[in-house]
Structures are given as structure tokens and as C-alpha cells.
Amino acid sequence: MTSTLLGAALDANALLPGARFIPSPNCDQRPPGEAIRLIVIHAISLPPGSFGGAAIECLFTNRLDPTAHAYYAAIHSLRVSAHFLIRRDGALEQYVACDQRAWHAGLSNWNGRERCNDFSIGIELEGCDELPFEEAQYLALEHLLQVLVRSYPITAVVGHAEIAPGRKTDPGPNFDWQRVRHFFPGDKQA
């Protein structure tokens, strides 16, 4: 997947060629005139600690079967999404066009601004707090970040835990921030 991202650019619909597009209904329009300035890195696994399968896609498209796993009964009615998901093997899926507001950050605050969904792009990595991420995921993430920083006036990359402290922990202690912070030399959170 990463080789198809080299030199890639978003298309006229703010979709990334080469990414598998699976439209999520869990999005809406950004506020008028709102610039995309932030990237939020998340981690997700469904059920927790398990990788592969269609559960994440089903969650983001409101098709998660509450009877398929005990954990799903508590989350199947959530209306959430992200712009991108990077699978363990580096495969890239896009659920929301970048120009739209994905519902990934929830109650959040960055540099005194609330409602981070308004001005951010959400990238989910298939993973959890307890395990390291795969090299293929970092390579796909690095190439995706190159595309996004060419397309928008992004000034920082943060973890979900940084914009929702006490509520969220992802992407967790095993995420290697040195792999991404160099894309944002002005980012003081490195």
C-alpha cells in the first residue's frame, strides 16, 4: 500500500487514491471557513486486543452486531468514525472525505480550542495500548502524513489522549512519536 501513496495527492472529493473507501454516515460538514490544522492519532481494536476482521468497519458504518461479542453490546449504538484506518499490515481505509468532519475526537480540547473534530483529521491505527504498532503501519502513516501536510495548513499531530486527557489513552505508550513529530517542526509537544 505505501508505494501507491508515494507522490499521491487527495482527489477533488478529498479522497486518497489507493485507499479503500468505505463511506461512513457518521460525519457532517465542518463549520464554514474552518481550516484543517490538526491530526489526531488514535488506536482501535475490536474486540479489544484483537486484530483483523470487519468489526471496525462495522462500527464506523453503524452495522456492528451487538450479539457477536459481549463488548459490542455496549458500543454498537455509538455513532463514530475516522477519516482513515491503517490496518496492521499497512492497508489504508478511508471512511470520511478529508474536507468533511469525522466524528472521532468526541469531547476534546487542543490549545484552548474545544470541538477538535471541527479542525482535525482523525487517523486510527489498528492497535491497542499493550502492543507495539507494526512497521508497515508506520510506513503507511508517514506517507499519509506527507499527503495531508501538502494538502492542508496542519500545524501539529497529537494523540487522542492529548486532546481528551483522563478520558482516552490512545494511541498508547507503545506509539513511537519520533516517527511522526518531525513532520511538524513547530509542534512544541514533541
pLDDT in tens, 146-169: 999 999 999 999 999 999 999 999
pLDDT digits (tens, 9 = 90+) for 111-135: 999 999 999 999 999 999 999 999 9
Strand 113-114 versus strand 109-110 pairing type: antiparallel
Is 159 domain-assigned? Answer: yes
Q: Check pLDDT > 80 for residue 54.
A: yes
Confidence at residue 187, expressed as pLDDT on a 0 to 100 scale: 57
Q: Annotate 14-26 with b (16+ C-beta within 10 A) or e (fewer).
A: bbbebbeebebeb
Catalytic residues: 124
| Structural domain count, the chain | 1
For 147, the domain range is: 2-6+35-42+81-183
Is 62 domain-assigned? Answer: no
Name which residue leads in pLDDT, 76 or 4: 76
The answer to whether the pTM exceeds 0.85 is yes
Is 16 domain-assigned? Answer: no
Is 19 domain-assigned? Answer: no
Is 130 domain-assigned? Answer: yes
